[in-house]
């Protein structure tokens, strides 16, 4: 399972690194503004998708680790469940805010218009 996950991650990284080269070549061939807009928005969509995917992956892993630690703490000391739950909820909210920040940046990139004349 780890080998398959590592291979898929390597393929995604290779695509992310090679895609700008392919799109830049097409954009260099096109001289009009319409093709440049299409190239920009294509790259923006690709980058935004990768960014929000990585943000969701990271925050999901972080929340899972936090929840695991909290459940282990409550299992070992049920009397401290109130403090652990409060700390867990605050921590999960802070972790989730990272994904929301990534979403805001992605939306800014998608709706930015560098071709204003």
Look at 29-33, 35-39, 66-70 and tell me which has the smallest mean pLDDT. Answer: 29-33
Average pLDDT of the residues of the chain: 81
Say if residues 106 and 51 touch (Cβ distance below 8 Å).
Answer: yes
Q: CA 7 to CA 13: how far, in whole Å? A: 10
* pLDDT over 70, % of the chain: 78
Confidence (pLDDT) at 41: 78
Tokens linked to 86: 């409060």
Beta-carbon count within 10 A of 1 CB: 5
Q: CA 53 to CA 45: how far, in whole Å? A: 12
Confidence (pLDDT) at 29: 60
Beta-carbon count within 10 A of 94 CB: 11
53-107: pLDDT as tens digits: 888 999 999 999 999 999 999 999 999 989 999 999 999 999 999 889 988 988 8
Tokens linked to 117: 């004349």
Mean pLDDT of 18-23: 65
**pLDDT of residue 115 exceeding 80:** no
Q: CA 66 to CA 58: how far, in whole Å? A: 12
Identify each DSSP E strand in 1-117 by its residue range. Answer: none
The CATH architecture to which 2-111 belongs is Up-down Bundle (1.20)
């Amino acid at each position: 399972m780890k080998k398959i996950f590592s291979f898929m991650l390597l393929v995604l990284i290779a695509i992310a690194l090679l895609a700008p080269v392919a799109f830049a070549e097409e954009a260099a061939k096109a001289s009009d503004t319409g093709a440049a807009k299409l190239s920009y928005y294509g790259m923006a969509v690709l980058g935004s998708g990768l960014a929000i995917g990585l943000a969701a992956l990271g925050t999901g892993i972080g929340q899972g680790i936090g929840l695991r630690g909290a459940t282990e703490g409550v299992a070992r000391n049920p009397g401290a469940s109130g403090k652990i739950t409060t700390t867990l909820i605050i921590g999960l909210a802070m972790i989730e805010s990272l994904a929301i920040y990534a979403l805001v940046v992605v939306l800014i990139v998608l709706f930015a218009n560098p071709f204003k004349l």
